[in-house]
Chains A and B, each alone.
Chain A
């Protein structure tokens, strides 16, 4: 039995009419057309379904859609602004941190959550922070480089300020 559900995604309110057993990732992709968030393992291991909920990284394949009501959901589509791409997005491009691209939205959002919480992390802390997000293409080298570079850019742009 479908129920009304209001979700706030990337600053916008949406009303969907879905069964309560739909996962958040299913609703984001199929009801809202936000296909930047991916489904790969669907068991909460690979991290390609990563979104931000109230600024924290969450695996959206592990959450029933109604659990997300009343929260601020951010998908990769919500990162860029009118001024342009987020420094993380730019850095991933500049440092060739994208191959097939499937892990990329999850990686960028995970990295954003990491840097928002701790604007000054070491490479080891970045690697530990990416635990739970898998990449089968890159070997993580360029991903970590991109995040290190983005961290610098963010610090220079507005020292001590969350982007």
Chain B
């Protein structure tokens, strides 16, 4: 690794000013669990490493009642996994966090770093996309809010400008009678990227159990995590039954564009997407029935 100059700014202002100064030659270091291996492999060779781990007040999970949820960018994936505040309403975020890498990595890896790494299979990104999450980006000029779907642009690519820092993730509060699940399918038990990931978030009407809202996000089957909007359309406004679930699962599979890689072929991923989308919708519907 290296050589590089190493900074430990203590504020967001100091950080974005350093980013503005050094531009493309700088990389932000949060937990380091993605950046350090990349520097070792020399897939990235920053001349300036801006270590933000000591900035105060970026590690938080804040429930704001009706307004929703705010998560600071330096919150570790382990904190998210173990947060009782996220249960039950935002439980699928915990599910996605708990299946990311391994405990020792999750103790250090941050949610902000994970999103900025923009892996097509990122578990938390997939779950957050189903929740219509937004990102808060701060620069010397001010701040802007960018929906997560518009933030992750491609493998390793985000909408971050060179002088911007992701500081917060904002999640709107799901309506009543909503529940979600995240299913990760891997070739082995842990410390593995998803072969496919499915996040399903369903809202059922209190009266007759009709699905009033459906959000489906798919991971590892496209250049970024994606919303399966046609599959969502299959479910929305209808009563969830076996036939409808099958139709939605087939539609989701159609909306995907997986590649062949070491974990599986595109064909296998499309097939497995049918299976796990079906499972995710079924499980989410069950949970939504008893959700407050």
Q: Which residues of A pack against B, CB within 8 Å?
A: 1, 3, 19-21, 23, 42-45, 47, 50, 53, 56-59, 61-64, 66-67, 110, 113, 128-129, 131-133
Contacts and interface: CB of A to CB of B under 8 A. Distances in A.
**Size range of the chain B interface in the assembly:** 20 to 34
B191 A43 contact: no
A128 B4 contact: no
Interface stretch (B33-41, B177-185, B268-276): B33-41
A131 B4 contact: no
Given A50-B104, A67-B32, A21 B2 contact: yes
Contacts of B40: 42-43
A39 B8 CA distance: 26
B32 A62 contact: yes
Nearest to B8: A66
Contact of A21 (B8, B37, B39, B101): B39
B36 A132 contact: no
Given A62-B33, A66-B51, A20 B104 contact: no
29 contacts: A1-B5, A3-B6, A19-B2, A20-B6, A21-B2, A21-B3, A21-B4, A21-B6, A23-B36, A42-B40, A44-B33, A44-B36, A44-B37, A47-B102, A53-B107, A56-B104, A57-B103, A57-B107, A59-B105, A59-B108, A61-B36, A62-B32, A64-B32, A64-B49, A64-B51, A67-B29, A131-B103, A132-B103, A132-B105
B207 interface: no
B159 interface: no
Contacts of A62: 32-33, 36-37, 105, 108
Contact of A131 (B29, B51, B191): B191
Contacts of A20: 2, 4-6, 49
Interface in B1-16: 1-6, 8
